[in-house]
């Protein structure tokens, strides 16, 4: 909370400056962050105050041996505990990209038609989940299998917190069932890989602050070192925060050379932001995982018994049909809570 309160104070100071609206897109982003932080901090502060009020009232009730008031406070304590559990869960959705939409990709593992059919079952499951959440899902790329199912598919899912929830689904998903494609009705095991990335904005804003630039002006020289201009028209610009240096001496005027150098600098900074984004996406994607035994995060068993179990949290459900129809929130919540050390749903099971 101290970090959030400090950030809140800094944002309030920023938005108080009318100059921020010179860049409307940046100003709107700051306002969104400010409003979100205000709501979160106020929620925690309000909960803390209600707990303190309840403790003070309980002390008074005990001193006066007021059993009725003590019983009422006990009931309030249950509600406070439930609210605390919900707020602790929201801490798991506080990553820098959690509020964004998501790019979900599904890849069939080895096994031909079996695995490709399983990949299509997973696609249907996530589309149903998105529909339940009121999200918009758009298939942007799809490669069908030769006989049935899909080899791979990519879906953009847009809605608040879509990435925050779906990041719990990254990994290998395993299916055990009697194969509908096997004339001998034997049991088969299939694998598919689910990848999830945040849906990043298309435009990269490159902000160049005048105070971050050191501009040196000098006389342009020929290849042999002789001065070809009596006046200083060449420009060297150093971007101090990154150390990027650009220079231009091809034009005949200082203004033209400065404009050309700034264009080059802007391009280099844009490329730098692209590299940072690619590195961040690579970090979020994680290392490559083989689709096979020992790497699965969740098992879906349809025969000889019925159960879906997450191997990371031990959360399980005895009704695979419900899960495959998009009822995934229990698995997501259990994993997200485990990330912040909460025991609320970790290891829970559901019939």
- Nearest to 98, CA basis, from 167, 13, 186, 25: 167
Most confident option among 269-273, 301-305, 321-325: 321-325
pLDDT at 49: 93
Of 9-23, 175-189, 266-280, the poorest mean pLDDT is in 266-280
Widest Cα–Cα separation across the chain: 99
pLDDT at 220: 67
CATH architecture of 2-91: Up-down Bundle (1.20)
* Mean of per-residue pLDDT scores for the chain: 84
- 122 band by pLDDT with thresholds 50, 70 and 90: very high
Looking at the predicted structure, is the pLDDT value of residue 257 above 90?
Answer: no
- Nearest to 106, CA basis, from 117, 91, 97: 117
- In the DSSP assignment, the letter for residue 97 is T
Sheet holding 213-218, edge to edge: 213-218, 234-239, 244-248
* Domain at 210-283, CATH from 3.30.160.20, 3.40.50.920, 3.40.50.1100, 3.20.20.70: 3.30.160.20
pLDDT at 230: 55
Most confident option among 23-27, 91-95, 174-178: 174-178
Of 79-83, 157-161, 282-286, the poorest mean pLDDT is in 282-286
Q: Are 25 and 204 in contact (CB under 8 A)?
A: no
Q: Which residue has the tokens 């290849």?
A: 223
Cα distances (Å, whole numbers) of residue 145 to 36, 142, 332:
44, 10, 29
pLDDT at 249: 75
pLDDT at 341: 57
For 298-329, letters b (16+ CB in 10 Å) and e give bbbbbeeeebbbbebbebbbeebeebbebbbe
Interacting residues of 116 by C-beta distance below 8 A, sequence separation 6+: 108, 145, 147, 148, 149, 150, 151
Give the C-alpha separation, 102 to 104, whole Å: 6
SS3 content of the chain, % helix, strand, coil (to 5): 45, 20, 30
The 10s digit of each residue's pLDDT in 210-249 is 999 999 988 765 433 444 445 678 889 999 999 998 887 7
Q: Are 120 and 202 in contact (CB under 8 A)?
A: no
- 187 band by pLDDT with thresholds 50, 70 and 90: confident
Of 98-107, 250-259, 273-282, 300-309, the poorest mean pLDDT is in 273-282
Could you tell me the residue ranges of all domains in the chain?
Answer: 2-91, 102-202+288-350, 210-283
pTM (2 d.p.): 0.65
Q: Does domain 102-202+288-350 have CATH number 3.40.50.1400?
A: no
- 350 band by pLDDT with thresholds 50, 70 and 90: low
Q: Which residue has the higher pLDDT, 284 or 341?
A: 284
């Amino acid at each position: 909370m101290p970090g959030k309160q400090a950030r809140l104070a800094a944002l309030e100071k920023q938005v108080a400056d009318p100059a921020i609206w010179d860049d409307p897109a940046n100003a709107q982003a700051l306002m969104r962050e400010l409003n979100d932080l205000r709501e979160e901090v106020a929620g925690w502060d309000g909960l803390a105050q209600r707990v303190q009020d309840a403790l003070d009232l309980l002390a008074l009730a005990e001193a006066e041996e007021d059993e009725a008031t003590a019983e009422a406070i006990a009931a309030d304590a249950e509600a406070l505990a439930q609210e605390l559990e919900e707020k602790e869960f929201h801490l798991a959705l506080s990553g820098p990209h959690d509020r964004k939409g998501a790019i979900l990709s599904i890849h069939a593992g080895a096994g031909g038609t079996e695995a490709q059919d399983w990949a299509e079952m997973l696609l249907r499951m996530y589309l149903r989940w998105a529909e339940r959440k009121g999200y918009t899902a758009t298939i942007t790329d799809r490669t069908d299998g030769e006989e049935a199912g899909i080899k791979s598919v990519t879906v953009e899912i847009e809605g608040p917190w879509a990435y925050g929830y779906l990041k719990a689904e990254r990994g290998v998903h395993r299916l055990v069932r009697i194969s509908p494609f096997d004339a001998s009705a034997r049991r088969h095991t299939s694998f598919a890989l689910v990848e999830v990335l945040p849906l990043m904005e298309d435009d990269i804003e490159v902000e160049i602050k005048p105070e971050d630039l050191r501009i040196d002006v000098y006389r342009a020289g020929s290849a042999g070192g002789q001065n070809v201009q009596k006046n200083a028209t060449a420009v060297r610009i150093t971007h101090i925060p990154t150390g990027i240096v650009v220079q231009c001496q091809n034009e005949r005027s200082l203004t033209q050379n400065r404009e050309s150098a700034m264009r080059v600098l802007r391009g280099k900074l844009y490329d730098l932001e692209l590299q940072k984004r690619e590195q961040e996406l690579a970090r979020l994607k994680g290392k490559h995982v083989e689709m096979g035994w020992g790497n699965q995060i969740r098992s879906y068993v349809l025969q000889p018994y019925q159960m879906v179990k997450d191997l990371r949290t031990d959360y399980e459900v005895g009704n695979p049909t419900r899960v495959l129809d998009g009822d995934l929130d229990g698995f997501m919540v259990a994993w997200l809570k485990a990330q912040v050390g909460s025991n609320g749903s970790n290891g829970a099971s559901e019939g």
